[in-house]
Amino acid sequence: MSQIGAAEPGWQTAVARLRELGDRLERRVGAARLRSIAVGVTGGLLVAVAGIAVIGFSTKGWALDFGADFLGYFTATRTWLETGAFYLPRQLHGAYQIELGDVLYPPTVLWILVPFTVLPALLWWVIPLGITTFVIRGWRPSVYWWPLMAAGLAYPDSPYMLQRGTPTIWLVAAVAAGLRWRWPGALVLLKPSLLPFALIGFRSRGWWITIGVLAAATLPLLGMVPDWLAAVMDGQGKSGLLYSAKDLPIVSIPVFAWLGRTRLRQAG
């Protein structure tokens, strides 16, 4: 069995028990019937995703809101290039309420953001979604895991984040690529609140090389780290320290796909 880089014997045992439970359920219910149930549940959840999108665009102003997160970070990046200020002044003078346009990522994220001041905006979505789709298709996850993957997409915040272009879509791609090739898992550290996902692949040499590259990339921006810490620590709202909890369903989609994979590939 292909292993997640950070896998421990206990993790492998848990996965084996899940699969054993699935085998027992298949024998009891019947494979054909169980597959039909899984497909039906998946279909229902995808219909729910479509419904969320229809409601969002028709009644919640998603059309006006489309790409808002991307635009906010694009604007912050242009401001940094022109003035050297990445974080807003209101984020650096004590407690403040987190609002659209506030920057909460470490300055290292600028290495991803700066190219998009010249690249087509559409690539902000195409690249991470393309990576995630490519990796998941390669695993050919079992139909029994489709409902969990669809549930991650049907979580109300997931379609909302997709249409806004939140940087979280890049972290989903990093998780998928980390489960496939190990070293990209370290890139999840661009959002430290998702640390457990960043440990994917930490036993591989490539993961530690990536950590070194991230550290080197941070050195020219080191003077901005205190501002980042102030922005994160003083920000209020968005569930406080649990503000990344809303990301868990969508970030978990590639994990479910990996657990249900039927085609095993050797990680690099």
Q: Residues 59-115: pLDDT tens digits?
A: 888 888 899 999 999 999 999 999 999 999 999 998 988 887 789 999 999 999 999
Beta-carbon-side half-sphere exposure of residue 111 (alpha carbons within 13 Å) = 13
Q: Is 39 exposed, middle or buried (0-12, 13-18, 19+ CB in 10 A)?
A: middle
Which pLDDT tens digit goes with each residue over 160-192? 999 999 999 999 999 999 999 999 999 999 999
Nearest Cα residue to 102 out of 78, 75, 84, 82: 75
Task: Collect all residues with Cβ–Cβ distance below 8 Å to 191 and sequence separation of at least 6.
Answer: 105, 167, 168, 171, 244, 247
Residue for token pair 């506030």: 102
Q: Residue ranges per domain, the chain?
A: 9-259
| pLDDT of amino acid 3 | 42
User: Would you say residue 265 has pLDDT above 80?
Assistant: no
pLDDT at residue number 67: 92
Distance CA 25, CA 39 (A): 16
Question: How would you write 60-115 as a 3-class SS string?
Answer: CCHHHHCCHHHHHHHHHHHHHHHHCCCCCHHHCCCCEECCCCCCCCCHHHHHHHHH
Q: Which helix (H) or strand (E) holds 236?
A: strand 235-236
pLDDT for the residue numbered 18: 67
Structure confidence at residue 244 as a pLDDT band (50, 70, 90): confident
pTM above threshold 0.85: yes
